Structures are given as structure tokens and as C-alpha cells.
Amino acid sequence: MYCRLLGAVASICMASGMELRSTAANAQNLLTDLGVATGHAINNNGQVALDQGIYSNGTITPLPALPGQTTPASALAINAAGQVAGSAVTQVINGGFGSSGTQLGSVAIAYSNGTLTNIALLFPEFVRDMYVEPGLATGINSGDQVVGYYTQLNPGSIDAPGTVGFIYANGAYNALPSFPPTEGAQLPYQNMPLGINDNGQITGACAIADPHSSLTDRLDAYIFDYTSGTWTDLGQGTGNAINAGGQVTGALDVITIGANSDSIVGTYAFLYNNGATTNLGTLAGGKNSAGNALNSAGQIVGSSDLSGSTLTHAFFYNGVMTDLNALISATDPLQPYVTLTSAVGINDSSLIVANGVDSRTNLSHAYLLRAPALQILPGALSFGTEAVGGATTTQSIVLTNLGTTSIALGAIVATSNFSVQSNNCAATIAPSAQCTIAVAFKPTNAGALTGGVTIPSAGTNYVVSLSGIAPIAATISPSIGTATVNTPVTITWAASPGSSCTAFSSSTTSLWTGSIAVSGSKTLTDTVAGTDQYQISCTAPGVSQLGVGTSVVWTWPAVTATLTALPTTVTAGQPTTLSWTSSNATSCSGTGGGTGDGWSGSNLPTTGSKMVSESYALAVPSVTLTFGITCTSSVSGLSGQSSANIVYNQPPPAKSGGGGALDPLWLMILSGVAFLNGMIQSRVRVRARAQGSLTPCTRCPLQDCEHLVVDEALGLGELSSALSQDIEFLRRPASTFGGDRRGGDSNAIFRRW
């Protein structure tokens, strides 16, 4: 007998068997070290199937070896009666067509009541050709039905190579079929059964034709009812265990579909239940996980990788995937040194068998650990789609105490974007009692959002995964839809928080481009007329990209022109001044006017004035001329016009030649006429008083004075008036005459006098 220390809690002693002593073999959250061993399964009596034998009540009993061998058989599965399925070392066929000889290899065995049976001796290859094929027995139910598989290595030509599934019961062997022919399997014997329940339902992996490649097969998880012969394809992957209720756990593949074949990029643990498959996910940051075993309540154990660790970690799933290492009590002396890497069995009392590494020796051990009695269902909630700022209807999480003592609970909280709307859980849950947590999705950010509800209990934080989709919403609008170029326009936009937005425009001169804030406003101008589109494109993780836009019609400014004349009425030959102004023009030109005034067709500045006159004689008393101006923008091509009318009058008819200021010659003449007028008036008055009758003037100094006859009846007033009118005529301005005031009618005046 010899003993070896295994850490601080157990020692192994070997004689005919091994005995374990643990400080708390069944205590919740305390480890029981089963020694340097690899565990595979556990039954409801707490018996554990190990590579080294069967653990029961603190003792490990090794299995016998096959005849002629010294290596004990390994237990891979165990039923309620303690019967075992597994493997043992013996001489097997060397393998390969045309090869011969044997080599050591593992064969499928069954162990019951101290008897070890080599199932390989029942295979057709041995019965027919005496070839022992390597294989494993992987599952056993309470009816002592054993399932497993072996590799066909017959060197003869009559059998195709492959992996053959079998069922062994009551001393008889039967091969299991592959998927039905309609599945198109290329290799007819690719079947690896891994578990069987008490109803004869088998799960495992079987080859089918890859629908994306005519050259390769793939392995799909399945359920095969041995009694009815029906198949259920669970998807690409492996079914590892099946309970009495027909629930299956295992690992399904995450695949990418290629042109010629699929690529496996990861795996995830799953629970199949009544036609529905649940992805159990991974531990934090992991890409691969697998469910290895489950009990009748659907609690699952397995392994997952996770970020920050080179080792996989064992997990426990009771609606929530929890790192089994987090369930080890802080008071356990092994806790600082042991990392549980894979949990491989769980019974209906939530006793778990797991494998792990002791950092002090770097050796692998098998351990027992009691799972918490707190059941949390479901382990994940998906809320679908909800707008940012909205709220979904609530979904419920139910906590159940499956144990016999009360379970303490801490403060239950949800992460951002989710909310615990109600919670009737008290500080403790009594045995067999339940409480409910109502959770809603209330997104404050856009994206495919995830979070969790944390449920603290007995020093462990259980997290129920939450997910929901919040689409991006965005608006954009201009301060004005139509604007003049170079006039500021403000673009205002808003998108859902959590999104990232980029601006772009159809305008080549706009500054609306590049990354922008989620919301804001920006003032823009454009230098070119046209309709410009202003858009934003926003993205958020896991949701569809959203683009929204608006438009602004940019117009050129109007070109205007104003023309005025001063004065607007003149006598022909007199000048007038034309003045003009314009806006948004680059040049102006004159139109209209008269011949020879130089206005029409002239190139003019955009603002100015110009004097014009008409030099020709008018044939009519009055003429109205229209002067126009056209101002144009060379940038926009637009133009504006204006006009002004000027009235030109003929001079009035002249009554005599001359007028205006009298020159010296005319003054001398008029002085003489005035003197003569005085003498005539004096003579007439004398004659009139003396004779009272008309007589010729014989004393007038003028030559034709003798022709002047003055009628006394007329009086001298008429003569004086006529003379005065002629003098006044001669004093008129020269501009009132048609010609020289010294000619024309002025000569008639002198002839008269």
C-alpha cells in the first residue's frame, strides 16, 4: 500500500483499490480532488467514470485489463447501476489496404458486475476475418444498452474504410446505419454515436454530403431513435449527450460558406429541446464552446475558451452560462491553485465532475463540485427591434430554488439600454420557491446592443444575457429650400446616439463633406447656381447603414438696371443728361435714342451718366425718343433692362428777325424812329387843333412821311401802340427767332417806318 499527497484536501492510497478522503465531498462550492485522473461521466449515485476506474463513495476502483494485457480498462460512461462502457488496450489490426500485422490499440468494452467484455470480438471483421478493429464504447443506459464506434481498417478489399457506429445489448452486436440515403453521404459508415438515453435514443455525429461541395462530407449532430429507426438532423456539429427527456447538448459549428466547401470558424455549445435549438454562447470573449453533459433538469456542463486565458474553462449552464471556477468557494484551500478546464458530467443532484489543472504540479486532476441549486431561466433574452428612446414590452426571468435550503440573493441590476421594470425577488428564495424579474429593452443608443441582468447569489454573479436591435434614425433639413448663391444657408441634422455619421454633397464647391457629429448645424454657401444634394450616412455596430438627405436650390441673383433723363422735355438741339445704375451686372450697353446721338450700341460702365442731344431739324412740332439700357452679368448670363423717354419740341415760329439784346446799329435806328414818332405826334396834334381835318404830312423828315395819313378820329394812341409793339419785338431773345433777328421780319418793321 502506498499514499501520495494530492494538494491540501485529499490523499490517494492504493492497495486493491483507492480511497479518497475529502473535507467536503458533497458541500456546495467546495472541490473534491479525485486525484491525477481524467473524469468522463457521473451517475445519480455520485459514481464517476474515470480513465483509472470507477469512483464511488470516496474510493476509486480500477477496471480489469483485457486478457494478455496489463493496462486497466478506462470507464467513459456509467449508468445508474454502475455498469460501464469504455475502452481497453489490446492488439488491433495494423490497418490500411494491403498491410498486415497488429499493434496496440483501444477497443470498445463493457463492464458489468466485475466482468469486462471486449465488444470488438463481436464485430463482423473479427467474426469473418479475425481482425480486431480499434474503437470506443461511449454511452450506456439503464437497460445496459451500449453504443460506440470503431474504425474499419480491414486490409481486404471487401469493406470500404470508415467509422462504424454500433449498439451492444444482451451480448449482441448491431451496426447502426448512417443517415438515410437521401442525405447523400459519400462514406456509408461515418457514424459516431456518443450517448444513449433510457428510451434508446442515440446522439452523436454522422457524415452527410456537404451541400456546398461534391468532393467532401461534413459531420452533423443527430438524434437516432433505435426503436423506430427515425433520424433528426440537429445541424453541422456533434451531439455529445442526451437525457431521458430527449434533450441534447453538444457543439455546433460556426461556418462560412466558400465556393467549394464550408470553413469552420468556431463552435458553440447548444441545447436541443423539443425541436428548438438554443445557442448557449461562450464565456466572455470566447470563440468556441461545447456542451458535454446534461441532467434531467436540462442543466448543462461543458467547456469554453475565453479572452485572457490560454486554458479553456469549465462552465455550468442553468439558463445562464457561468464559469465553473467562479463557483469555487473562496475558502476552499484548492481555489488559488486549481483551474477547472472542462466539466464532463452532471447528475440530477447537480453534482458535477470536472477536469482541471493544479498549478503547483501542472498535472491534470478530476474534481467533484456541487452546482448551485439556483435555477435561472431563460439564460438569455432577445428583445428584437426597438427605436432609440422607446421601450419594449417586458420579458421575464424566473429564479427557482431547486435545493433544500434558502438561497440568498443580492441586488439585481441591468446594464445600460435595458431596464429591470419589476422584481418580486426577496433577499432569499425558500426551497422550491420561485421569483420573477421583468426586463425591458430601452435603447438609448443605436446598434445591435447587448447587455445583461446580474443576479448575485452566494458570492457568484449570474448574468442573463440580453440583446436587442436599435435602428439608426436620422433627419436633415436646410433653413431655406431656395437661396441665392453666396447667401448663407444653415443645414441642421440629428442622428441616433451611438451612430457615426459622414457628410457628402453633390456640390463640388460645398464644404459639406467628411465626418460630422451625431447632431448639429452648419452654415454653408455655394458659388454656383443649381440644385445641390446634402446627405448624411450613418452607421452603428450590427445595424443597417442609414442615409438621409435634403436639397437646396441655389439661384443666381437678379440683374437690375435703372435709367433716368434730366430734363425730359427740351427744344430740339438742346442737351439732356442720362443717368443709370445697375446691380449684379458686369457690363451695360445703350439702346434706342436718335440717329447720331451716340447712345445706341455704346459700351457703358455698370453705373454712370452721359449727356446726349439731337442736332437735326424736326419735321413735326414734337418728337418723343426712347433711350434704353441693358446690363448683363457675365457670371450668371442674366440681364436687366430700363428705359427713359425724352420729348423734343420744334422752336416756335419767329415774328421778326432778331430779338434779344440790341446791338448799337439797331439802337441808333430805333432812337431815330422814336424821335420821328414824337415829331409826328406833335405835328398831328397841331394840325388837328388848327384844322380838325386830315391833311398830308409835309414837314416829316422821312422820305415817305408824306404817305402817312393820320385820321384825327383814330387819335394818336393807335400809332403809338403799333410802334411800341415793333420795338418790343426787336427786343426779344434771339433764340425765339427762326433766324437772324436782323433779317426777315425786322426789315419789314423798318420799311413800315
Provide the domain limits for residue 509: 474-554
Would residue 503 count as lying in a domain? yes
CATH number at residue 413: 2.60.40.10
Higher per-residue pLDDT: 62 or 654:
62
The number of CA neighbours under 13 Å toward the Cβ of 141 is 22
Would residue 197 count as lying in a domain? no
119 dihedral zone (left: phi>0; alpha: psi -120 to 50; beta):
alpha
User: pTM (2 decimals)?
Assistant: 0.60
pLDDT band at 460 (very low <50, low <70, confident <90, very high): confident
Please state, for a pLDDT cut of 70, what percent of the chain lies above it: 77
145-189 residue pLDDT tens: 999 998 876 544 444 557 889 999 988 999 888 765 444 444 345
Q: What angle do CA 127, 133, 138 make, to 5 degrees?
A: 110
What span, in angstroms and rounded, lies between the C-alpha atoms of 340 and 517? 47
Domain boundary among 649, 674, 708: 649
Would residue 304 count as lying in a domain? yes
Would residue 523 count as lying in a domain? yes
pLDDT at 450 over 80: yes
Give the least confident one: 31-45, 321-335, 482-496, 711-725: 711-725
Q: Tell me how far CA of residue 620 lies from CA of 103, 617, 641, in angstroms.
A: 139, 9, 30
pLDDT band at 342 (very low <50, low <70, confident <90, very high): very high
Residues 549 and 566 in one domain: no
Helix (H) or strand (E) holding 173: strand 172-175
pLDDT at 657: 52
pLDDT at 48 over 70: yes
Residues 361 and 400 in one domain: no
User: 384: which 3 cell numbers?
Assistant: 428584437
Cell match 456541487: residue? 370
pLDDT band at 193 (very low <50, low <70, confident <90, very high): very high
pLDDT at 652: 76
Residue 529 identity = A
Burial 510-545 (b: 16+ CB within 10 A, else e): bebeeebebeeeeebebeebeebebbbbbbbeebee
Burial 168-196 (b: 16+ CB within 10 A, else e): bbeeebeebbbbeeebebebebbbbbbbb
304 closest CA partner among 312, 294, 293: 312
pLDDT at 208: 79
Residues 342 and 399 in one domain: no
Residues 584 and 525 in one domain: no
DSSP 127: H
Alpha-helical regions (H) of 104-242: 124-129
Would residue 540 count as lying in a domain? yes
Alpha-helical regions (H) of 160-210: none
Would residue 533 count as lying in a domain? yes
628 closest CA partner among 612, 615, 616: 612
Cβ proximity of 393 and 416 under 8 Å: no
Residues 522 and 564 in one domain: no
pLDDT at 16 over 50: no
368 dihedral zone (left: phi>0; alpha: psi -120 to 50; beta):
beta
Q: Give a three-class secondary structure readout of 36-78.
A: CCCEEEECCCCCEEECCEEEECCEEECCCCCCCCCCCCEEEEE
674-699 residue pLDDT tens: 555 555 555 444 443 444 444 444 44
Q: Residue range 421-426: average pLDDT?
A: 95
Residues 482 and 457 in one domain: no
Residues 676 and 747 in one domain: yes
Cβ proximity of 83 and 112 under 8 Å: yes
Q: Residue range 585-605: average pLDDT?
A: 90
Give the least confident one: 33-42, 220-229, 702-711: 702-711
Residues 319 and 366 in one domain: yes
Residues 350 and 324 in one domain: yes
371 closest CA partner among 429, 434, 329, 336: 329
Please give the biggest Cα pair distance in the chain. Answer: 203
Domain boundary among 325, 352, 371: 371
**Contacts by residues 329-336 (CB-CB < 8 Å, ≥ 24 positions apart):** 329/29, 329/30, 329/459, 330/459, 332/9, 332/29, 332/30, 332/31, 333/7, 333/8, 333/9, 334/7, 334/8, 334/9, 334/31, 334/33, 334/358, 335/31
Cβ proximity of 630 and 640 under 8 Å: yes
What span, in angstroms and rounded, lies between the C-alpha atoms of 318 and 315? 10
207-259 residue pLDDT tens: 877 666 655 677 899 999 999 999 999 999 999 999 999 999 999 999 887 66
What span, in angstroms and rounded, lies between the C-alpha atoms of 230 and 436? 39
Q: What are phi and psi of 166, to 5 degrees?
A: -145, 165
Would residue 100 count as lying in a domain? no
Domain boundary among 428, 448, 470: 470
CATH number at residue 582: 2.60.40
Number of domains in the chain: 5
Would residue 333 count as lying in a domain? yes
Cβ proximity of 18 and 35 under 8 Å: yes
pLDDT at 454: 93
645-683 residue pLDDT tens: 999 998 877 655 544 455 555 455 556 655 555 555 554
Residues 440 and 516 in one domain: no
Residues 408 and 456 in one domain: yes
Query: CB burial class (10 A; 0-12, 13-18, 19+) of residue 367?
Result: buried
pLDDT at 180: 59
Give the least confident one: 91-95, 175-179, 463-467, 554-558: 91-95
Residues 623 and 567 in one domain: yes
pLDDT at 508 over 60: yes
Cβ proximity of 325 and 308 under 8 Å: no
